[in-house]
Amino acid sequence: MNKIEHLGIAVKDIQKSNELFSKLLNTSPYKQEEVVSENVITSFFKVGESKIELLQATSENSAIHKFIEKKGEGIHHIAYDVSDIHAEIKRLKGEGFQMIHEEPKDGADNKLIAFLHPKSTNGVLIEICQEKV
Ligand code: ZN
């Protein structure tokens, strides 16, 4: 894994949170994007080399909706940048980690992504992502 690519934060109202994080980070989101397959709207902020992803549910079927019901707003996942997501999924499975996605899927921000099950990572939801070329 190369670096932490972004932190995902679950929010109830992305417009309000965009305003809040714009004030906090003193910069505007560089991208806002709906991921229909995940029932979320996302927005991204750059902070130096790091990124923050805000996620708002667009339906009650969204994992973000369920997360907020259970735990409230807050840090939802840590995403690591990888160079070869297929190889990394294979490696992680070999190490005994449980993947939510056995095959990479399209994510926000021009990425292929896969999530690990938090059961196998001390309760932390982990995303691995690879920039699409
Ligand atoms: Zn993410």
- Tens digit of pLDDT at every position of the chain (133 positions): 999 999 999 999 999 999 999 999 999 999 999 999 889 999 999 999 899 999 999 999 999 999 999 999 999 999 999 999 999 999 999 999 999 999 999 988 899 999 999 999 999 999 999 999 8
Question: What does the pLDDT read at residue 37?
Answer: 85
Edge-first strand listing for the sheet containing 111-116: 31-35, 40-47, 50-57, 3-10, 74-81, 126-131, 111-116, 105-107
pTM recorded for the entire structure: 0.93
The CA 54 to ligand 1 mean position distance, Å, reads 9
The CA 96 to ligand 1 mean position distance, Å, reads 22
Question: What does the pLDDT read at residue 133?
Answer: 85
The CA 95 to ligand 1 mean position distance, Å, reads 22
Residues 6+ apart with CB under 8 A from 66: none
The CA 8 to ligand 1 mean position distance, Å, reads 5
The CA 94 to ligand 1 mean position distance, Å, reads 23
- Cβ–Cβ under 8 Å, residues 98 and 116: yes
The CA 7 to ligand 1 mean position distance, Å, reads 7
